[in-house]
Amino acid sequence: MDPAKYKDVKVKRGLIYHYFYSPAAPGKPTLFFIHGFPSTSFDWHRQVAHFEPKGYGLIVPDTLGYGGTSKPQEPEAFRWKLQAQDLIDVLDAENPDTVIGIGHDWGSQLLSTLAQLYQDRFAGFVWTAASYVPPRTEEFVLQDVWQTMRKLVGSDVYGYWELFNEPDSHVVCEKNIDSFLQLVYPSAPEVWLQHLTDAGKAKAWIESNNKPGGAPWLTDQEYNTMREALLKGGLQAPMNFYKASIANVNLQDYRDLPAENWHIKKPALFVAASRDYVCRPASGKASMEKYAPHAEIVELNTGHWVQLEATEEYNAILEQWIEKTPTARL
């Protein structure tokens, strides 16, 4: 991704957002890519390489806490409603005619909030690995979620949240950065079943500085770029995505949201990952069927990092869906 094509904008609440921008050619929509944890806009570099030469517009921000974007230290700053307004401010800076929102991981949560609050600003939505997330109007209690998931799938699923919620979680992960990265970008998706999803396992892996090797679908150059970006920006602010959710900072915003805002009316696509043991396809499909029953659902035989593990297939699915969905293009 060409550094010269990055811009900075000050959003309404005074924070700086850093984003990649390439304008759309006539007749092409703008794709608004939103990354997750622990990433930067670089997570989408293979999609930029595919879509930019074809004339698609591209806006790819570093989300809050990452890369060149501001890094608040307080979890309250990471309320979904506030971040969604920030991203609308980024869009307003370029004012594209037709926008398709595309999210992955926590970016899918952000995309869900954008759909709930600003659906008219988008021509369509694409959720990747993590599906549409409806508002949660009851308090989130992590241990209760573990208990529920154990009964459903035999795993805590969100066990690693315990580590990420600790005050010094960023220190542990930065100190053992390669161990951390080789866990979140694993050599095989099943590593997560053994060392991430159950409580205590991620902490044991990282504190022991376990480094069995990284993902085969990342080049050394890509891995080093990700590594350098995380060390430069630090992990303290990104950990607030977890701390904010556990602290229920979004609860009142969700309770204030009108019921009619919960449902997706625009064209939608969900690209599920059959070997993602956190964002599980079955629960994702159930969410889409309830809140966006018209959505197209495609499942790929990958782990969580769909856009990197199956780049060509994922790009083709995106492009074909856009081209056959009249309201998702000019």
* 51 shares its domain with 9: yes
On whether residue 215 sits in a domain, the answer given is: yes
* 255 shares its domain with 120: yes
On whether residue 330 sits in a domain, the answer given is: no
8 Å CB contact between 145 and 246: no
* 7 shares its domain with 130: yes
Q: How many domains does the chain have?
A: 2
* 117 shares its domain with 152: no
- The separation between CA 181 and the C-alpha centre of its own chain, rounded to angstroms, equals 16
* Residues linked to residue 32 through DSSP beta bridges, in sequence order: 59, 101
* 108 shares its domain with 147: no
Domain holding 133: CATH number? 3.40.50.1820
* Residues across the chain: 330
Which pTM does this prediction carry? 0.96
Mean pLDDT computed over 39-67: 97
**Predicted pLDDT at 329:** 54
* 255 shares its domain with 228: no
- How many percent of the chain have pLDDT more than 90? 97
* 98 shares its domain with 72: yes
Which of 213, 229, 244 represents a domain boundary (last residue)?
Answer: 244
On whether residue 329 sits in a domain, the answer given is: no
On whether residue 105 sits in a domain, the answer given is: yes
pLDDT digits (tens, 9 = 90+) for 86-110: 999 999 999 999 999 999 999 999 9
User: Confidence band (pLDDT; 50, 70, 90) for 326?
Assistant: confident
Q: Chain-wide mean pLDDT for the chain? A: 96
Which of 185, 216, 244 represents a domain boundary (last residue)?
Answer: 244
**Predicted pLDDT at 148:** 95
The per-residue DSSP string of 101-146 comes to EEEETHHHHHHHHHHHHHGGG-SEEEEESS-------S---HHHHH
Domain that holds residue 223: 142-244
**Predicted pLDDT at 1:** 87
pLDDT digits (tens, 9 = 90+) for 110-161: 999 999 999 999 999 999 999 999 999 999 999 999 999 999 999 999 999 9
User: Confidence band (pLDDT; 50, 70, 90) for 325?
Assistant: confident
The per-residue DSSP string of 252-287 comes to HHHHHS-GGGGS--S-EEEEEETT-SSS-HHHHHHH
